[in-house]
């Protein structure tokens, strides 16, 4: 190779490096203004997670947020991350129409959820949300009550065999019930997994979040050509193929049914979408329908399964609170087996209990937003290209907002306590423009399930809330399961 050619190559490389860093100068300026942990060249702060297990994610994040007073910067490879747990900043970010794009890390959701609501952005996201939100209106929520009743009774019947036996992981029953409920409400499909035990559906959903979380934290797996040739990449391919084929089959069946009888009353999200497309075929593509069904089915099932399993475990660990919930159920509902949405709204203490569970163990411990244009917050201006991580679980346990931050204390949600607290100190379903459209559905569902279970069983568990160990795979889960015992109530319906 001639000296001239070598010289030209060197100049080209230098030009590329200089231009690359010059284009990122605003990111570097911000990183100098904010405090944060020491970052290594190339990998940044990824070393925090390289040699730690999945259950260390939350403690590491908590320690860093506490050390740097609720806002810090970090580098994940070449990407600048800003972590915040300041409710004022959070309100400003989540309430703005300028920061609605989810972080770059959400591209790892694409192979599974496609362009569904979780990771979609811009005009397409707004169009899809406008259609889907109709199926979570007040009228639809009342129509779903019979599904909650029916599937909750199946779950209780299956759990009868655990009465008087050693502790078991209640999640295995709750998850199947949630799948049957969400499958029917979202797609009008009776999956019957509680009776037929289709474990391939269960294992596929379980694998989704583990795969996404693992890839986000291991930046060397970010390039598709590397990840797709790993064992986990091949597992993801298998999971995606199974789920998409499973959902597509049910979508095609419902499409044919609606096309043959357009006067069918909408009973599910899928039917709402299909009827909307009869009037406006351009509103959502066929692929978009499948993407949204996978998104709603997977996210709905997982959220309800986790929150309700946490609820049962915490009630089992706190019998005095469990008794208060049971007494309220008896006082408000009596022997009424066909209680409706309005009846459940009167269970005020039960609502406080479920909210307190969501405070301690929110489904998503972090919310991520991508800054697509320079955006000012309290102390700094976030430049375009920054990813903002909102520490939901940290805010939920910040003693400056909560009287007993690490205690199961439903009185945190008494009206007078709520009035004194920053509105963005509690956001288990996110907030703002991208807040969860299914939060009322989930609350009604969990109340219905809880009524049915507590009418039949007393819940017992060993240990205390302090014994719970967490692991995070995008979602916060119990490392040791949700183990409890059942005692038959004397007077059951």
Instruction: Name the pTM for this structure.
Output: 0.88
Helix (H, G, I), strand (E, B) or coil at 180: helix
From residue 146, alpha-carbon distances to 32, 64, 185, 237, 396 in Å are 57, 46, 10, 36, 33
- Contact between 178 and 305 under an 8 Å Cβ cutoff? The reply is yes
Tokens representing residue 235 in the block: 């597992």
| Packing angle of the helix pair 231-260, 286-317 (nearest 10 deg) | 110
Conformational region of residue 431, where left means phi above 0, alpha means psi within -120 to 50, and beta covers everything else: beta
In whole angstroms, give the CA distance from residue 259 to residue 278.
9
By the 10 Å C-beta count (0-12 exposed, 13-18 middle, 19+ buried), 102 is classed as: buried
Q: What is the mean pLDDT of the chain?
A: 86
In whole angstroms, give the CA distance from residue 48 to residue 472.
15
Helix ranges, 199-285 (H): 199-217, 224-227, 231-260, 269-279
Determine the pLDDT at residue 493.
46
Name the nearest CA neighbour of 318 among 414, 458, 146. Answer: 458
Please report the DSSP string for 105-174 in residue order. GGGGGHHHHTTSTTT--HHHHHHHHHHHGGGGSHHHHHHTHHHHHHHHHHHHHHHGGGBTSSPEETHHHH
Strands 375-376 and 366-370 turn out to be unpaired
- Contact between 159 and 452 under an 8 Å Cβ cutoff? The reply is no
Residue ranges at the known binding site: 436
pLDDT tens readout for residues 294-304: 999 988 998 99
pLDDT tens readout for residues 435-493: 888 899 999 999 999 999 999 999 999 999 999 988 876 778 898 999 999 999 986 44
- Contact between 113 and 107 under an 8 Å Cβ cutoff? The reply is no
Determine the pLDDT at residue 75.
78
- Contact between 145 and 427 under an 8 Å Cβ cutoff? The reply is no
Tokens representing residue 273 in the block: 């979408």
**φ and ψ of 488, to 5 deg:** -70, 130
CA-angle at 117, arms to 386 and 251, nearest 5°: 150
In whole angstroms, give the CA distance from residue 105 to residue 122.
17
In whole angstroms, give the CA distance from residue 214 to residue 57.
11
- Report the DSSP beta bridge partners of residue 72: 83
In whole angstroms, give the CA distance from residue 205 to residue 489.
33
Determine the pLDDT at residue 2.
79
- Contact between 399 and 447 under an 8 Å Cβ cutoff? The reply is no
Determine the pLDDT at residue 266.
64
| Packing angle of the helix pair 269-279, 231-260 (nearest 10 deg) | 60
Mean pLDDT by 10 residues, the chain (493 residues): 76 78 72 76 69 68 82 79 89 85 77 82 82 84 92 96 96 95 90 80 80 77 89 90 88 80 71 83 86 90 95 98 97 91 95 97 88 81 84 93 97 96 92 84 96 97 93 80 94 52
Name the nearest CA neighbour of 451 among 347, 362, 321, 304. Answer: 347
Task: Report how far apart the first and last C-alpha atoms of the chain are (Å, whole number).
Answer: 88
In whole angstroms, give the CA distance from residue 207 to residue 476.
14
Please report the DSSP string for 367-408 in residue order. EEEE--S-EE-SS-EEPTT-EEEEEHHHHHT-TTT-SSTTS-
By the 10 Å C-beta count (0-12 exposed, 13-18 middle, 19+ buried), 53 is classed as: exposed
Determine the pLDDT at residue 492.
47
In whole angstroms, give the CA distance from residue 78 to residue 41.
9
Determine the pLDDT at residue 271.
86
- Contact between 71 and 397 under an 8 Å Cβ cutoff? The reply is no
Tokens representing residue 308 in the block: 């309700």
In whole angstroms, give the CA distance from residue 194 to residue 175.
9
Residue ranges at the known binding site for heme: 436
In whole angstroms, give the CA distance from residue 212 to residue 278.
35
Tokens representing residue 130 in the block: 């406008």
In whole angstroms, give the CA distance from residue 203 to residue 472.
17
């Amino acid at each position: 190779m001639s000296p001239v050619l070598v010289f030209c190559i060197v100049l080209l490389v230098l030009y590329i490096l200089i231009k690359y860093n010059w284009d990122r100068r605003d990111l570097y300026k911000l990183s100098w203004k904010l405090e944060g942990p020491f970052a290594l060249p190339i990998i940044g702060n990824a070393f925090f997670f390289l040699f730690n297990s999945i259950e260390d994610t939350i403690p590491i994040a908590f320690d860093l947020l506490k050390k740097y007073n609720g806002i810090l910067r970090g580098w994940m490879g070449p990407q600048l991350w800003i972590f915040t747990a300041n409710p004022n900043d959070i309100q400003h970010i989540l309430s703005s129409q300028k920061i609605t794009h989810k972080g770059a890390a959400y591209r790892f959701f694409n192979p599974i959820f496609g362009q569904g609501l979780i990771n979609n952005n811009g005009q397409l996201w707004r169009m899809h949300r406008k259609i889907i939100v109709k199926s979570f209106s007040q009228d639809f929520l009342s129509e779903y009550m019979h599904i909650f009743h029916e599937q909750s009774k199946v779950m209780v019947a299956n759990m009868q065999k655990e009465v008087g036996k050693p502790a078991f992981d209640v999640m295995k029953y709750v998850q199947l019930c949630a799948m049957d409920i969400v499958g029917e409400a979202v797609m009008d499909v009776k999956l019957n997994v509680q009776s037929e035990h289709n474990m391939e559906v269960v294992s596929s959903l379980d694998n989704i979040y583990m795969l996404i979380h693992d890839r986000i934290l291991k930046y060397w797996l970010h390039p598709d050509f590397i990840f797709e040739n790993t064992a986990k990449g091949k597992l993801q391919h298998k999971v995606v193929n199974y789920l998409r084929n499973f959902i597509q089959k049910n979508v095609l069946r419902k499409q044919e049914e609606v096309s043959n009888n357009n006067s069918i009353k909408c009973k599910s999200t899928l039917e709402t979408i299909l009827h909307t497309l009869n009037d406006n075929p351009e509103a959502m593509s066929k692929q978009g329908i499948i993407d949204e069904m996978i998104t709603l089915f997977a996210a709905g099932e997982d959220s309800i399964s986790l929150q309700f399993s946490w609820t049962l475990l915490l009630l089992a660990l706190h019998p005095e609170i469990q008794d208060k919930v049971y007494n309220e159920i008896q006082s408000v509902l009596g022997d009424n087996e066909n209680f409706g949405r309005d009846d459940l709204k009167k269970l005020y203490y039960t609502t406080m209990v479920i909210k307190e569970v969501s405070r301690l163990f929110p489904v998503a411990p972090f919310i991520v937003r991508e800054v697509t244009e320079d955006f000012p917050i309290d102390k700094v201006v976030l430049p375009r290209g920054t990813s903002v991580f909102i520490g939901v679980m940290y805010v939920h346990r910040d003693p400056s907002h909560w009287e007993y931050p690490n205690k199961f204390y439903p009185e945190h949600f008494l009206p007078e306590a709520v009035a004194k607290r920053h509105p963005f100190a509690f956001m288990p379903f996110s907030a703002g423009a991208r807040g969860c459209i299914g939060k009322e559905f989930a609350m009604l569902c969990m109340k219905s399930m809880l009524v049915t279970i507590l009418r039949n069983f007393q819940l017992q568990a060993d240990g205390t809330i302090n014994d719970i160990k967490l692991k995070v795979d995008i979602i916060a889960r119990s490392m040791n399961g949700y183990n409890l015992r059942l005692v038959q109530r004397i007077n059951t319906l």
